[in-house]
Amino acid sequence: MTDLDALIRTTLDERELAYDSPEPGRYLVTLPGTRKQQTNCWLIVTKHALLVEAFVCRQPDEAHEDVYRFLLRRNAKLYGVAYTVDKAGDIHLVGRTALESVTAEELDRLLGQVLEAADGDFNTLLEIGFATAIRREYDWRVSRGESLANLRAFEHLLKPTESES
């Protein structure tokens, strides 16, 4: 185990974060959230950098331009990571930091930024990119008498507008 591996493990253990390490230099960290139940974040040690990669949400169903505009604007406020989309259009956070810059404090700051962005922006991304699906889910649940508890964050999308009433 390298010194960097020991630093990463110690930092994750001290912060009581769940993680798996399938091999030295690769860590799948589970960051607990409030809006998004959890965010899985890879920490990958390469020859010159520590890579950070986290899945945020799948490709939006609608309003792609609005979603991408939000992501680009949000990138200007993020530390150490940035939003990107993969070939399928799914949304991720990615970053890289030079190995000599990796300290427990820097690792904590990077993981904190991943959590703040992925968890903090999650409902906004759903509102912009999945509004129709949220309304459809609401209607389906109401018709079956199902719980609406996890749709409370989207109540403002579900209330009829004055033109609909």
Where are the CATH 3.30.1460.10 domain residues in the chain? 3-121
- The pLDDT assigned to 134 comes to 87
pLDDT tens per residue, range 19-74: 999 999 999 999 999 999 999 999 999 999 999 999 999 999 999 999 999 999 99
Q: How confident is the model at residue 165 (pLDDT cuts 50, 70, 90)?
A: very low
Q: What is the pLDDT of residues 78-88, one digit of tens each?
A: 999 999 999 99
Query: How far lies 17's CA from each of 32, 48, 101, 160, in Å?
Result: 8, 25, 21, 42
Q: Percent helix, strand and coil across the chain, each rounded to 5?
A: 45, 25, 30
End-to-end C-alpha distance for the chain, whole angstroms: 65
Helices (H), the chain: 3-14, 64-75, 104-129, 131-144, 155-158
pTM of the model as a whole: 0.88
Average of pLDDT values for 136-140? 86
CB-based contact 157:131 (threshold 8 Å) = yes
Q: Which CATH class is domain 3-121?
A: alpha beta
State which amino acid sits at residue 95: G
Cβ density class 63-89: b for 16+ within 10 Å, e for less: beeebbebbeebeeebebbbbebeeee
